[in-house]
Amino acid sequence: MITVRLARPSDLPDLVPVFGAMLDHYNHRFGNTDDQIEAFLTQHLFGEAPTVFCQIAWDGSVIAGFVTYALVVPGYGLGQELFMKELYVSENARGRGAGRALMVELARVAEKEGCRRMRWTTGRSADYEAARALYDRVGAKVLDDAIVYGLDRAAITKLNERDDDGR
């Protein structure tokens, strides 16, 4: 049976390898060691000024997956919005309800926090078909009210080098 709860510092020994597997899945590890992943998670989940929350799906005593999210304002009018950054289910746990359980828990959090909506992005390639199918099953709709923009590291550096006139 899948259970979901908010991550605790004592979960780090179990969470670090799953987080590493997620980085490997997306080819985003960039040589980071487990010690670096643990330091990163400690800072962002449990540090002095945490930047995200993390819910963990447990299958007994094994982590089946996790979801990271933030509560942002303004979200919709003067309400909060829950923004899901990452939902990852371990390869050996896929198809057993962990993704749905994580989405249900996020809906509970959003309702409890008075969020007017939940939002997230997902990839367009075939690699994301299972994720999109999950989102469809939980009643999510593709929103067309926004265009997603981004800056990669080089563009961030270039923007910081510009003067105040935008040149």
Top pLDDT among 79 and 20 is at 20
Q: Is 157 part of a structural domain of the chain? A: no
Q: What is the pLDDT of residue 105?
A: 98
Domain, as residue range, for 37: 2-142
- If one counts the domains in the chain, the total is 1
Section 30-45 average pLDDT: 96
CATH number at residue 109: 3.40.630.30
Going by their DSSP bridges, the two strands 62-76 and 53-59 should be labelled as antiparallel
Q: 95 Cβ partners below 8 Å, 6+ apart?
A: none
DSSP state at residue 162:
S
Banded model confidence at residue 127, pLDDT cuts 50, 70, 90:
confident
Q: Is 17 part of a structural domain of the chain? A: yes
Cα(19)–Cα(12) distance, rounded to whole angstroms? 10
Q: Is 148 part of a structural domain of the chain? A: no
Q: Are 44 and 81 in contact (CB under 8 A)?
A: no
SS3 144: coil
Beta bridge partners of 62: 59
pLDDT in tens, 46-88: 999 999 999 999 999 999 999 999 999 987 778 899 999 999 9
Q: What is the pLDDT of residue 163?
A: 58
pLDDT in tens, 146-163: 888 999 989 999 999 875
Q: What is the pLDDT of residue 96?
A: 94
Q: Is 152 part of a structural domain of the chain? A: no
Q: Is the pLDDT of residue 144 over 90?
A: no
C-alpha angle with apex 152: 42 to 149, nearest 5 degrees?
Answer: 100
Question: Structure pTM?
Answer: 0.90
Q: Is 38 part of a structural domain of the chain? A: yes
Q: Is 155 part of a structural domain of the chain? A: no
Q: Is 166 part of a structural domain of the chain? A: no
Q: Is 137 part of a structural domain of the chain? A: yes
Q: What is the 3-state secondary structure (H, E, C) of 104-122?
A: HHHHHHHHHCCEEEEEECC
Sign of the four-CA dihedral 150, 154, 156, 162: negative
Q: Are 26 and 131 in contact (CB under 8 A)?
A: no
Cα(41)–Cα(46) distance, rounded to whole angstroms? 7
Work out the mean pLDDT of the chain and round it to a whole number.
93
